[in-house]
């Protein structure tokens, strides 16, 4: 409930600080006294955009602060979702600076107007003839029926499952798009992979392969040169081997003459042994050396394939080709496994669809069950409000697709007079009729859920005394479970209040100021008497006022 309201430097208000109680609070005042100013200030607290022209003194800061007791509103989770500190006594403050900049605070934490708007809809509902248009909107009609049908938890679960369902659908669409893209490349990737697999890259040693090619391609030259080397080394008398033996013999003759000569002889002996080993190796190589044109062609072909692959894939190493082949195989596997992934995702969607269908059916049944009760209560109240021939119909039709609140299409239809036909509410009800319908619906809702504080702004315009008396009764009844404000010009409604405030103007030094005053019992009698008979209060008006209050 709204416990207090502070307004400073706004429109015709210098400074106003007023406290409110629970129950039905009446606000009256002459036309132009400033009731709209009061509502304007409160609207700023509820998230309306600020305008510097609304500031009384442009050189001073404008402040509007409202204090709410929200103990019965169950809003802790909403505060958490908005990243706000929860407090049973919640303070909302708006400031308009001389620069024109506006700031908003909830429990002293800076917030955006969007956050302010989200929270404020759960705190207070300002209801005027203009706001009755929301009654013709689908969202509000669903909100009414679902509140009566106790669908809150079902709808929360449905919305949770719907988000999962939408996410699964998006994933499936992405898989199908991926498959379409991969299929375009699949054949080419398969060709490249097969080409690389045929080479058996892990078993290739490029250096060895190139060495084998060089040997087979130059076998004749190698043979000639090996023979020439043998001749140089081992030709009798002239060969290096024989010459080295002669050197060794000569050194043996002086080896005993000193360690240096002995070392020199040993070194020549070592060279001789190594040279013999070289000759043996040359013999072995000559034995193995053979011309093999077919093997040469095979190796040459393999080298050409590898070089072509290097060029095609713009790499220089076998390992790089192996990486490319593995990547290609992964793409191929992904393409081939996508069908299975798509099937699995479709099964998940089918299960999610079944869950949603079950929840939607439960929501539908609850709605269908409560609609006759709602219509009956509504028509009964409308009869009391001077609309005895009004008939109401709520059409609930199942859809073949999910929407944000189930699987239904809902429509309020109205018929004001006998012999008429049912039509959409916005086309068949006048502004005054919509006001009474909205009042009736709010009173029904108050029986089922905890509503925020509500302020009725002259919804009794054009209503007769008899009907206004019943409207006052309905507001009074609603105030038994919630805080109700009524800005009214009818004494029959004003007399129903548990507290009464008067908005009035006064001129101080040629400047007009608006103020708000809580009336005591005697002042209430005078105010209601003036509402009955004008400024000239008669004894009969006073008697009538007392009678209404009693």
pLDDT surpassing 90 at residue 412? yes
How large is the C-alpha radius of gyration of the chain? 49
Tens-place pLDDT, residues 383-409: 999 899 999 999 999 999 999 999 999
**pLDDT the model gives residue 104:** 93
- 452 secondary structure, DSSP code: P
pLDDT mean across residues, the chain: 87
**pLDDT the model gives residue 105:** 95
Under a CB-based contact definition with an 8 Å cutoff, are residues 501 and 26 in contact? yes
In whole angstroms, how far apart are CA 144 and each of 151, 307, 359, 367, 411? 10, 77, 19, 10, 12
Contacts of 411 (CB under 8 A, 6+ apart): 138, 141, 394, 395, 424
**pLDDT the model gives residue 501:** 95
Determine the average pLDDT of the residues in 486-506: 92
Percentage of the chain lying above the pLDDT 90 cut: 42
Which tokens hold the place of 83? 């990243």
Identify the CATH class of 1-123+452-519.
alpha beta
d(CA 435, CA 273): 123
pLDDT surpassing 70 at residue 131? no
Determine the average pLDDT of the residues in 488-507: 92
Residue with more model confidence, 483 or 225:
483
Determine the average pLDDT of the residues in 293-305: 79
Q: Would you kindly state where each structural domain of the chain is located, as residue ranges?
A: 1-123+452-519, 190-336
pLDDT surpassing 80 at residue 212? no
Place of tokens 């191929």: 332
Q: How many residues belong to the chain?
A: 550
Coil, strand or helix at 25: strand
pLDDT surpassing 90 at residue 93? yes
List of long-range contacts for 507-510, beta carbons under 8 Å, 24+ apart: none
**pLDDT the model gives residue 33:** 67
Determine the average pLDDT of the residues in 294-307: 80
Determine the average pLDDT of the residues in 77-89: 92
Pairing status of strand 511-518 against strand 499-508: antiparallel
d(CA 371, CA 393): 9
Under a CB-based contact definition with an 8 Å cutoff, are residues 486 and 27 in contact? yes
Under a CB-based contact definition with an 8 Å cutoff, are residues 306 and 206 in contact? yes
Strands (E), 319-477: 391-403, 406-415, 423-424, 453-457
**pLDDT the model gives residue 110:** 94
Coil, strand or helix at 15: strand
Please work out, in degrees rounded to the nearest 5, the angle formed at the alpha carbon of residue 481 by the alpha carbons of 405 and 131. 55
Contacts of 291 (CB under 8 A, 6+ apart): 216, 219, 220
Highest mean pLDDT out of 35-39, 145-149, 222-226: 145-149
Which tokens hold the place of 428? 């068949």
**pLDDT the model gives residue 8:** 93
d(CA 491, CA 489): 7
SS3 per-residue string spanning 60-107: CCEEEEEEEECCCCCCHHHHHHCCCCCCCEEEEEEEECCCCCEEEEEC
- φ/ψ of residue 506, rounded to 5: -150, 145
In whole angstroms, how far apart are CA 536 and each of 241, 470, 492? 152, 27, 19
- φ/ψ of residue 129, rounded to 5: -60, -35
pLDDT surpassing 90 at residue 11? no
Determine the average pLDDT of the residues in 36-43: 84
**pLDDT the model gives residue 52:** 78
Tens-place pLDDT, residues 436-483: 898 999 999 998 888 899 999 888 777 777 888 899 999 999 999 999
Tens-place pLDDT, residues 314-373: 888 888 888 888 888 888 777 777 888 899 999 999 999 999 999 999 999 999 999 999
Highest mean pLDDT out of 205-219, 241-255, 512-526: 512-526
Q: How confident is the model at residue 130 (pLDDT cuts 50, 70, 90)?
A: low
Pairing status of strand 499-508 against strand 24-28: parallel
Under a CB-based contact definition with an 8 Å cutoff, are residues 154 and 396 in contact? no
Percentage of the chain lying above the pLDDT 70 cut: 98
d(CA 386, CA 380): 10
Q: For residue 503, what is the enclosing H or E element?
A: strand 499-508
Coil, strand or helix at 455: strand
**pLDDT the model gives residue 325:** 86
**pLDDT the model gives residue 237:** 64
Determine the average pLDDT of the residues in 412-430: 87
- Report the 10 Å Cβ neighbour count for 96: 23
Pairing status of strand 102-106 against strand 89-96: antiparallel
Residue with more model confidence, 73 or 146:
146
Percentages helix, strand, coil for the chain (3-state, rounded to 5) are 60, 20, 25
d(CA 267, CA 247): 11
d(CA 10, CA 187): 74
Q: How confident is the model at residue 27 (pLDDT cuts 50, 70, 90)?
A: very high
pLDDT surpassing 90 at residue 232? no
d(CA 399, CA 403): 9
**pLDDT the model gives residue 129:** 63
**pLDDT the model gives residue 500:** 96
pLDDT surpassing 90 at residue 429? no
d(CA 496, CA 549): 7
């Amino acid at each position: 409930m709204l416990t207090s309201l502070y307004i400073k430097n706004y429109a015709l208000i210098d400074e106003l600080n007023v406290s409110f109680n629970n129950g039905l609070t009446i606000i009256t005042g002459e036309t132009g006294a400033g009731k709209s100013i009061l509502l304007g200030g409160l609207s700023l607290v509820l998230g309306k955009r600020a305008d510097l022209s609304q500031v009384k003194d442009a050189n001073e800061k404008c402040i509007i602060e409202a204090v709410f007791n929200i103990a019965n509103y169950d809003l802790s989770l909403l505060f958490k979702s908005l990243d706000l500190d929860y407090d049973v006594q919640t303070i909302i403050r708006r400031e308009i600076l001389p620069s024109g900049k506006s700031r908003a605070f909830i429990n002293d934490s800076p917030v955006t107007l969007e956050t302010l708007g989200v929270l404020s809809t759960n705190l207070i509902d300002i209801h005027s003839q203009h706001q009755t248009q929301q009654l013709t909107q689908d969202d509000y009609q669903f909100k009414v029926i679902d509140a009566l049908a106790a669908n809150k938890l079902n709808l929360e679960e449905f919305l949770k499952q719907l988000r999962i369902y939408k996410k699964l659908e998006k994933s499936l669409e992405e898989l199908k798009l991926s498959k379409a893209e991969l299929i375009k490349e699949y054949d080419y990737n398969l060709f490249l992979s097969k080409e690389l697999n045929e080479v058996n890259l892990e078993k290739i040693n490029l250096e060895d392969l190139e060495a084998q090619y060089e040997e087979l391609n130059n076998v004749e030259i190698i043979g000639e040169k090996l023979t020439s080397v043998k001749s140089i080394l081992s030709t009798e008398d002239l060969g290096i081997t024989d010459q080295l033996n002669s050197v060794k013999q000569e050194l043996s003759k002086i080896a005993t003459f000193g360690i240096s000569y002995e070392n020199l002889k040993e070194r020549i002996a070592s060279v001789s042994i190594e040279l013999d080993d070289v000759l043996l190796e040359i013999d072995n190589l000559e034995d193995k050396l053979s011309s093999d044109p077919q093997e040469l062609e095979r190796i040459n072909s393999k080298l050409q394939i590898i070089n072509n692959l290097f060029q095609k894939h713009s790499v220089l190493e076998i390992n790089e080709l192996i990486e490319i082949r593995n990547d290609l195989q992964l793409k191929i596997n992904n393409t081939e496994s996508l069908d299975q992934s798509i099937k699995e995702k479709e099964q998940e969607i089918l299960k999610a669809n079944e869950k949603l269908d079950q929840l939607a059916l439960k929501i539908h049944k609850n709605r269908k069950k409560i609609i006759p009760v709602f219509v009956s209560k509504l028509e009964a109240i409308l009869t009391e409000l001077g609309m005895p021939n009004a008939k109401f119909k709520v059409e609930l039709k199942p859809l073949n697709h999910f929407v944000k609140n189930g699987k239904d299409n809902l429509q309020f239809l109205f018929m004001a007079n006998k012999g008429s036909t049912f039509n959409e509410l916005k086309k068949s009800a006048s502004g005054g009729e919509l006001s009474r319908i909205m009042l009736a619906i709010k009173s029904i809702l108050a029986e089922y859920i905890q509503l925020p504080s509500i302020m009725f702004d002259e919804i009794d315009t054009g209503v007769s005394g008899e009907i206004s008396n019943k409207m006052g009764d309905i507001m009074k009844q609603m105030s038994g479970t919630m805080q109700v404000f009524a800005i009214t010009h009818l004494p029959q409604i004003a007399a129903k209040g548990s507290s009464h405030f008067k908005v009035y103007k006064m001129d101080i030094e040629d400047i007009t100021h608006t103020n708000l005053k809580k009336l005591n019992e005697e002042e209430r009698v005078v105010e209601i008497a003036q509402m009955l008979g004008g400024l000239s209060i008669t004894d009969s008006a006073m008697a009538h006022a007392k009678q209404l209050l009693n």
